[in-house]
Structure 1
Amino acid sequence: MIRYLLSLVFSFVFFSLLAQPNHTKSSLRQLQQQIEQLATAAQGTVGVAATLVETGESVSLHGDQPFPMQSVYKMPIGMATLHLVDQGKLSLEQKIRVSTADYISKRQHSPIREKYPNGTELSLAELLRYAVSESDGSASDVLMRVVGGPNVIMSYLKSLGIKDLIVLNTEREIGSDNAVQYKNWAKPAEAVALLRRLQEGRGLSKSSRAFLLRLMTETETGLHRLKGQLPVGTVVAHKTGTSWTIDGVTAATNDIGLVTLPNGQHIAIAVFVSDAKADTDTREAVIANISRAVWDYWAR
Structure 2
Amino acid sequence: MTTRSQFKVLFLSAVVLLSIAGRSVFAQKQADDFRRKIEKIIPEAKGTVGVAIMGLEDRETFLFNESLRYPMQSVYKFPLAMAVLDQVDKGKLSLNQKIRVTPKDLLPNTWSPIREKYPKGNVDLKLSEILSYTVSQSDNNGCDILFRLLGGPKKVDAYVQSIGVKSIVIAATEEEMHKAWNVQFTNWCKPRAMLRLLDILYKGKALSKTSNDFLWRIMTETTSGPNKIKGLLPKNALVAHKTGLSDTKDGILAATNDVGIMTLPNGEHVAIVVFVSNTPVDEKTRDGVIAQISKAAWDYFLAKK
Instruction: Judge same fold: TM > 0.5, yes or no.
Output: yes
Choose the corresponding residue for 2:114, options 101, 112, 127.
112
Choose the corresponding residue for 1:272, options 270, 275, 280.
275
Deviation at 1:166, TM superposition (A): 1.3
Choose the corresponding residue for 2:72, options 66, 69, 73.
69
3-state SS, counterpart of residue 24 of structure 1: helix
Q: What RMSD in Å do the two structures reach over aligned CA positions?
A: 2.0
Q: Deviation per CA, 1:232-284, whole angstroms, max 9, x where unpaired?
A: 21100000000112221100110000000122111110001101011000000
User: Is 1:232 matched with 2:235?
Assistant: yes
User: Is 1:205 matched with 2:208?
Assistant: yes
Partner in structure 1 of residue 261 of structure 2: 258
Partner in structure 2 of residue 87 of structure 1: 90
Deviation at 1:105, TM superposition (A): 3.7
Percent sequence identity is 47
Deviation at 1:27, TM superposition (A): 2.5
| C-alpha separation in 2, matches of 1:154 and 1:239 | 18
Partner in structure 2 of residue 8 of structure 1: none
3-state SS, counterpart of residue 51 of structure 2: strand
Counterpart amino acid of 2:225? G
Deviation at 1:21, TM superposition (A): 9.9
Answer with 1 or 2: which has the greater Rg. Answer: 2
| C-alpha separation in 1, matches of 2:248 and 2:160 | 30
Deviation at 1:225, TM superposition (A): 0.4
Deviation at 1:64, TM superposition (A): 2.7
CA 1:103–1:22: 2 relative to 1, 3 Å: farther
| C-alpha separation in 2, matches of 1:22 and 1:181 | 44
TM-score, with structure 1 as normaliser: 0.91
Q: Does the 8 Å contact 1:68/1:251 carry over to 2?
A: yes
Choose the corresponding residue for 2:249, options 246, 251, 254.
246
| C-alpha separation in 1, matches of 2:208 and 2:93 | 14
| C-alpha separation in 1, matches of 2:70 and 2:202 | 23
User: Is 1:138 matched with 2:141?
Assistant: yes
Q: Does the 8 Å contact 1:164/1:187 carry over to 2?
A: yes
Deviation at 1:118, TM superposition (A): 1.7
3-state SS, counterpart of residue 277 of structure 2: strand
User: Is 1:173 matched with 2:209?
Assistant: no
Partner in structure 2 of residue 297 of structure 1: 300
Deviation at 1:23, TM superposition (A): 6.2
3-state SS, counterpart of residue 271 of structure 2: strand
| C-alpha separation in 2, matches of 1:199 and 1:23 | 29
After TM superposition, the runs of 4+ consecutive aligned structure 1 residues lying more than 6 A away are 20-23
| C-alpha separation in 1, matches of 2:281 and 2:262 | 26
Deviation at 1:30, TM superposition (A): 2.1
| C-alpha separation in 2, matches of 1:275 and 1:203 | 33
TM-score, with structure 2 as normaliser: 0.89
| C-alpha separation in 2, matches of 1:276 and 1:53 | 30
CA 1:121–1:261: 2 relative to 1, 3 Å: same
Q: Deviation per CA, 1:113-169, whole angstroms, max 9, x where unpaired?
A: 122122122110000000000000000000011112222212211121112121111
| C-alpha separation in 1, matches of 2:29 and 2:107 | 49
3-state SS, counterpart of residue 168 of structure 2: coil
| C-alpha separation in 2, matches of 1:282 and 1:22 | 35
| C-alpha separation in 2, matches of 1:295 and 1:165 | 26
CA 1:23–1:145: 2 relative to 1, 3 Å: farther
User: Is 1:156 matched with 2:177?
Assistant: no
